[in-house]
Chains A and B, each alone.
Chain A
Amino acid sequence: MRRPGIPVIPNVVCPLCGCCCDDLEVTVRDDRIVAVKRACALSAAKFENYSNHRNTRPLVRKNGKLVKTSLQEAIERSAKILANSSYPVLYGWSSTSCEATKVGLELAEEIGGVIDNTSTICHGPSILAVQDVGLPGSTLGQIRHRADLVIYWASNPWSAHPRHMERYTALSEGRFQRSVWRRLLLAFHAESIRKRILRAASVAFKRRAPTSPPKETGAKRGTLAVEERKTIVVDVRRTRTADVADYFLQVEPGKDYEVLQALRALIRDGELDIGEVGGVPVETLEEIADTMVDCKFGVLFFGVGLTMSRGKLRNIDAAIRLVRDLNMRTKFVIMPMRGHFNVTGADTVFTWQTGYPYAVDFSQGYPRYNPGETSVVDILQRGDSDSALVVASDPVSNFPREATRNLVKNPLIVIDPHLSATALMADVVIPSAFVGIEAEGTTYRMDHVPLPLKKIVEPPEGYLPDEEILRRMLQEVRNLKRPIAS
């Protein structure tokens, strides 16, 4: 219940995952967040804990230890490191605003560095495939109202995008498509009754109930013959998302490419002369192919399960081609499940500023793009870079060991509100305000819809937004490179 005098801020855009839910209600008391309505578990954890475990003061490393310093000194020291580097790496960007990323690109050009965003170890391969074969897409609103077949392939929204199904797909009430909540509840109810009967039977007959479920080969759960919106999950593990799907298809790890290509053959009315593909019986694939062709508006959401496993960009290539084939028979779209709230924005800003979405190298004086060479993990693995600026990201936690070692070996500057593993290993740490909580900005939802992030509370004194810190750093670099006297 709303009490007078306590401000409730409506329509807050969530700064967490690529869903960018824009319906949160945040209650603020004495400039502190006290409650968040409609937030998922991840979002609630962020709003409730953002002020713990954060960088509190600007720090610089002296004699191997991080010591407190002033903001001005931290910025000057960072500018000096960057201006004196021959091949600096600027990395992160997906958890900050588009406005900050724009300044970051200007800085990268000024110092002749490489700028890369977290797509590089996330949906980078998807981008490479999209550049090869295109991307039939739509907004999430269209999907909510019209999609009658939703496929999550190698993606686990229950864990990574908790409100995706509720807001945009199976569990949302669309104008032309009903939510499947009721059906799901009935299914759970039937399952619990079945278990109760089994338990009662085991007591009555004084013997053990059959504990092991019937062996599942590839798939089997529910039926696809329902005149309602359907959900299919394809994954190597039975994820929690699979539990709420109408159909779960378990593929052997690293065999997605084969399964996708088999489906393409079946959709073109081809016949497969083998029993199974990637651990899935061909009859099951035939049933799935029929369901795909028979739907009115289908959507395939794919996760990093495809980009991070064997085949990488080729898996995405096959998935997009499958959707292209399906469009000969019906209407089908495909969309990557983007992780961080503004990773789509980072790609977009990179593209409109430089022509390329990530892994952009300014060392020749003009933007160059060659993932595999100009991407940050490759640069670090080769040991080519001589310093790094990390903005709103934690590569020390998320990069493989060899890359991490070369990252921490050289001077490392971190601009981040979070106290992260990267901040612990840095030479300069500049705490910033949380964009979307303590600072405004623009973010792009996973379907490329831009949304405004709000400033809900004041940041602690002296904490600037990433954009402002970067602007000051850029100015310092320019002062160093082009002395005012000249």
Chain B
Amino acid sequence: MQVSLLTGRTIDQGRGKEYGKLSKEYADNVAVCEMNPKDMEQLKVRDGGKVKVTTKSGSVVVTARKSRRIRSLGIVFIPYGPWANLILASDTHGTGMPLLKGVHAEVKLTEDNVLSLEELLTQWYGEEKSH
């Protein structure tokens, strides 16, 4: 399914951050993708199921969450954090600011698991530090 990806702050992400970046609260509230219930029906994903979100920069597996705050179809929301940033591009078009909201993305149902923060760091950046 083709969607527009928004990222942003949520109060639970903010609280999770203060519990600690390695805490369960943080991962549970940040490695999620909030979606319109109708979009979820169409994707055949249940609340708490796993989805793979892909952009031209890469893909990441997160937990799908039903949201009544996303009224329009074709819009998904992932809170700020390392999971969202895996699929965002670094290019700033000469402004210093990468595009972090309104990014074109594709969402698919998946069987894969959500990586923990440590697994994510090892998988993507581990090589850089193994020397």
Contact = CB atoms under 8 A, between A and B. Distances in A.
Interface of A: 16, 41-42, 45-46, 49-50, 52-54, 61, 64, 120-121, 124-125, 128, 156, 158-160, 162, 216, 236-240, 250, 252-254, 304-305, 307-310, 312-313, 339, 359, 371-373, 375, 377-378, 380-381, 394, 396-405, 408-409, 418-421, 424-425
A310 B100 CA distance: 9
10 closest A-B pairs by CB: A53-B20, A375-B96, A371-B96, A372-B94, A45-B18, A308-B100, A309-B101, A402-B90, A381-B90, A400-B88
B82 A159 contact: no
B2 interface: no
Interface string B98-118: 111110000000000000011
B1 interface: no
Interface in B56-80: 57-58, 68-72, 75, 77, 80
A121 B99 CA distance: 9
Contacts, number: 188
29 contacts: A42-B11, A42-B18, A45-B14, A49-B20, A52-B20, A53-B23, A61-B129, A121-B98, A124-B95, A159-B14, A236-B75, A236-B102, A238-B69, A238-B71, A252-B72, A253-B6, A253-B101, A309-B100, A312-B93, A312-B99, A313-B95, A378-B92, A397-B80, A399-B85, A400-B90, A402-B89, A419-B20, A424-B118, A424-B121
A16 B77 CA distance: 24
A75 B58 CA distance: 37
| Chain B: number of interface residues, binned into ranges | 35 or more
B121 A308 contact: no
B96 A409 contact: no
A403 B99 CA distance: 13
A53 B22 contact: yes
Nearest to A394: B21
B21 A409 contact: no
B20 A418 contact: yes
A50 B57 CA distance: 34
B85 A237 contact: no
Interface string B111-131: 000000110010011001111
Interface in B1-28: 4, 6-11, 14-15, 18-23
Given A237-B70, A309-B100, A425-B128, 17 more contacts: A41-B11, A124-B96, A236-B102, A253-B75, A308-B97, A308-B100, A308-B101, A309-B99, A372-B92, A372-B93, A372-B94, A381-B91, A396-B121, A398-B81, A402-B89, A403-B90, A404-B124
